[in-house]
Structure 1
Amino acid sequence: MKAEFSVDELVPHTGQMSLLSDITGYGEDWLSAVVDISSSSMFADDKGVPAWVGLEYMAQAIGAFAGLQERQKGEEPKVGFLLGTRKFSVDVPYFSLGSRIQVKVTKNMQAENGLCAFDCELRGEGFTSEASLNIFQPDDANQFLRDAKQ
């Protein structure tokens, strides 16, 4: 199903730090999106965008998934934190200028305390990338950060 909300309505990032181009579909435990790589893309140089940025594409797609869940309940998207990744691999050093990357994230675990695990993949011309990402989304990120400082 195509998302009824835009990337800007789902992901708390703004301006150039909002890296997803469009949400292309979603289901109960997954979301798909695209990223269009151009010379104006964040992190781009004359070779394209370094492939390690793919982790952030995955993380923002997870943020969009979580934001969609909140919007469907009539609430605002919450801030989440990338705790770590396992098994990140990518077949190319750069994502080429002019290319389109397909991003898919699938939730495989969610605990009541806000911890989640997602299986993620990126697909583009000539490459596939996979990773497992661990995310923490507290009910109140500002309070969590204040408590963490103490």
Structure 2
Amino acid sequence: MIPWPLAELLPHAGDMILIDQVERCDDEQIHTRTTVRPGGLFNRADGSLPAWLGVELMAQSVAAYAGCRARRNGEAVELGFLLGTRKFECDVEHFPVGAELHIHALRSLEDDNGMGVFECHLRGPGIHASARLNVYRPPQVASYLVEPGPEESSND
């Protein structure tokens, strides 16, 4: 287990944090888990979660990996972006209430410009999902969040 609360590892807040715990994390991979509970932002009428939410659980696990690495290095946790998902496959249509889901993300590529690729798997009782996530953590993340002001026009 890691010594930091999830809220200190993820640039998410409140109900948007969908994983419950980081089980372990090293320089190459992270293992997280969550339990499906009814009443959340993304639950279906029966309390289950749609399978496509597996991509977000994987992405939050990758974000927690980056957060763990930043904290270990004494750096600030920064915002990153999910650029895309390849080969998402899931053998169920939804994750039932009470299911404990285990997510594993393994870094397969990362460059000095902030681009990364992670091989991800999500497992639970009778559940297996996998995907390859392409992510980006820009070196100057603040500049990506600033909207340009209206351009000044001159009437000559």
Category of TM-score, reference length = shorter chain: over 0.9
Matches within 5 A, 1:1-150: 2-47=1-46, 48-146=48-146
Counterpart of 2:154 in structure 1 is none
Q: TM-score, normalised by structure 2?
A: 0.90
CA contact (8 A) 1:78 1:139 kept: no
Where in structure 2 are there 5+ consecutive unaligned residues?
Answer: 152-156
Rounded to whole Å, the distance in 1 between the matches of 2:134 and 2:12 is 19
Q: How many residues align?
A: 149
Greater Cα radius of gyration, structure 1 or 2: 2
Deviations 1:39-92 (A, max 9, x none): 133301233000000000000000000011111111221100000011100011
Q: Following superposition, which runs of at least 4 residues in structure 1 exceed 3 angstroms of deviation? A: 145-150
Tell me by how many angstroms 1:140 deviates. Answer: 2.5
- What's the Cα RMSD here? 1.7
Cα separation, partners in 2 of 1:40 and 1:148, compared to 1, 3 Å = same
Question: Could you tell me the percent identity over the aligned residues?
Answer: 32
Where in structure 1 are there 5+ consecutive unaligned residues?
Answer: none
If each structure's helix is expressed as a fraction of its own residues, which one has the higher value?
A: 1
Tell me by how many angstroms 1:148 deviates. Answer: 8.7
Q: TM-score, normalised by structure 1?
A: 0.93
CA contact (8 A) 1:19 1:42 kept: no
CA contact (8 A) 1:32 1:61 kept: yes
